[in-house]
Amino acid sequence: MYNFLNQRKNVQVYDWINNRPERFRVSESDAAIQLDLIAKVRGFSSAEVFFLSLEDQLKNKRTYGALLNVYVYSRSKEKAESLFDTMRSKGYVVHPLPFNVMMTLYMNVKEYDKVDMLVSEMMEKKIQLDIYTYNIWLSSCGSQGSIEKMEQVFEQMEKDPTIIPNWSTFSTMASMYIRMDQTEKAEECLRNVENRIKGRDRIPFHYLLSLYGRIGNKDEVYRVWNTYKSVFPKNTPNLGYHAVISSLVKVHDIAGAEKLYKEWVSVKLSYDPRVGNLLLDWYVEAGDMQKALSFFKKMKEDGGFPNSNTWEILSEGYIADKRISEALSCLKEAFMVANDSRSWRPKPLNLSAFIELCQEQGDMESAESLTELLKLSKFSKYKAYESFIGSSDDEVDRTDDIIHGSENMDGDSEMMLNELQGSF
C-alpha cells in the first residue's frame, strides 16, 4: 500500500510538471517513467492514452519499451505482439531487452514454443543473449518438462564468455528440478544460489526459503532462516517472514509457523495481511473454522486490515461448512476491498462451489446475489467469469483470458519481469 501511495504521489507530481510546459521540459526517460507509473496507478488503458498524447520526438525506443512492459505485465498478448512488430519495423528491436520482455509474456501465457522462436531470431540476427535471456530460456525448457534441453541450454550458457551464471540462474533451475522430482539436483542448485549471494541482497534468501519449503526440507528452511537473520539482524522485512512461514506451513510445521508469526507481530513495522493469511488458510484447509475465526480475530487485534484474499479464505471455510449466509457475507467483503486492490480476483473454483451449494440447498436468491456482485464489479468483463454472469462474446475482455496480477503471477516470471523493468 505504501508503494502504491508513493507511486500515486509521483504521478501527481508529473501531472503538475506536464501542466507547466513553459517551465519544464520532459525528457524521453521522464516520459517512460511516467508511462510506467500511470499504468500502475491508473491502469494500462490510461497508459495507452498517455503514450498517444506524447509528442513524436518522445515516442522512441524508451517509451515504446515502457509501453511494451505495461502490456506484458497486464498479459495483453495481442497488444504486446502488435507493438513488438511496430518496434521491429522502427529498428528498436536490436538488443536483448525487448526480446526478454516478450519471452516473459510467453512464459506467463505458457506459449513456450514462442520463447524458442525468439531465441532463434536473436541468434539469426546475431543479437547477443544476455543473462536474462538465458534464465528465461532455462525456465521455458524446464516448464516444458525437458531436463535434457534445460541442461543443454545451461551448458551453452557456461560456454558463453560474456555470461556468468548468477543466483537467479540456479534458482530457476532448482525450481524446475523440483517440479520434475529431481531433488538432489535441485539441492545442488540451491547450494549454488547461496554461494552467489552478493552484498546485502535479501531476495535470494526469500527464494531459498521458498524452494527448500517446496522440497520439504525443514532443516534447511531453518538453517537458511537463521543465516538470513544473522546477515540482517535488524528490520527483517515482511517478505522474509512471509517466505519462512509459508515454507513451514508447506512442511506441516504449524507450531513453528505460529511461533514465527508471533515473533513477526512483535517486530513488524506494518501489518501485511498476506503473512497472517498463510496460517488462516491452513486452519481453513484443515477444516478447523473455530481456530480460523479465532485467528482472524487475532489478526485484527494485531493491527491487520483483512484484504480480499483474507475474506475469500474465510468464505471457502464457510462453503465447506455449508453456511451460505456467512460465505456470501465474506464474498461481499472481498469484493468491496477489491476496489482498492490491483491484483486480487475471485477464484472461479470458489465461486462455482458457492453456486453449487446454493443449488444443493435451494437458495437461488443467494446465488443471484453473487451473480449481481460479479455484474457490478470490475471483473464483469473477464472471460474467467463469463459463465457466472452470462456475458455475450462482445462484452467479454478477450485480452484477459488468464487470471493474473502480482499475487497470481508465477514467482520466477514476476522476478524476471521486475528485473527487466529496471532496465528501461
The yes-or-no verdict on residue 17 having pLDDT over 80 is no
The DSSP string of 27-86 is -HHHHHHHHHHHHHHH-HHHHHHHHHHS-GGG-SHHHHHHHHHHHHHTT-HHHHHHHHHH
The yes-or-no verdict on residue 422 having pLDDT over 50 is no
- Within a domain: residue 48? yes
| Residues 76-87 pLDDT 10s | 999 999 999 999
Give the pLDDT band of residue 401 (cuts 50, 70, 90): very low
Question: Which pLDDT value is given to residue 234?
Answer: 82
In sequence order, what are the beta bridge partners of 382?
397
- Within a domain: residue 37? yes
Closest C-alpha to 72, from 148, 136, 4, 3:
136
The number of distinct structural domains making up the chain is 1
| Residues 288-318 pLDDT 10s | 999 999 999 999 999 999 999 999 999 999 9
In sequence order, the 6+-apart residues with CB closer than 8 A to the CB of 382 are 345, 396, 397, 400, 403
- Within a domain: residue 60? yes
Upper half-sphere CA count for residue 96 (Cβ side, 13 Å):
17
In sequence order, the 6+-apart residues with CB closer than 8 A to the CB of 158 are 165
Contact 245, 257 (CB under 8 A): yes
pTM exceeds 0.95 for this model: no
- Within a domain: residue 17? yes
Find where cell 467483503 sits. 333
Contact 136, 419 (CB under 8 A): no
Span 1-25, average pLDDT: 42
Q: How far apart are the first and last CA of the chain?
A: 24
Domain that holds residue 40: 1-94
Q: Please give the grid coordinates belonging to residue 383.
A: 472471460
- Within a domain: residue 403? no
Span 248-268, average pLDDT: 97
- Within a domain: residue 74? yes
- Within a domain: residue 1? yes
The yes-or-no verdict on residue 403 having pLDDT over 80 is no
- Within a domain: residue 151? no
Give the pLDDT band of residue 1 (cuts 50, 70, 90): very low
Give the pLDDT band of residue 397 (cuts 50, 70, 90): very low
Question: Which pLDDT value is given to residue 235?
Answer: 80
Upper half-sphere CA count for residue 149 (Cβ side, 13 Å):
14
The CA distance from 12 to 104, in Å, is 30
The CA distance from 17 to 411, in Å, is 36
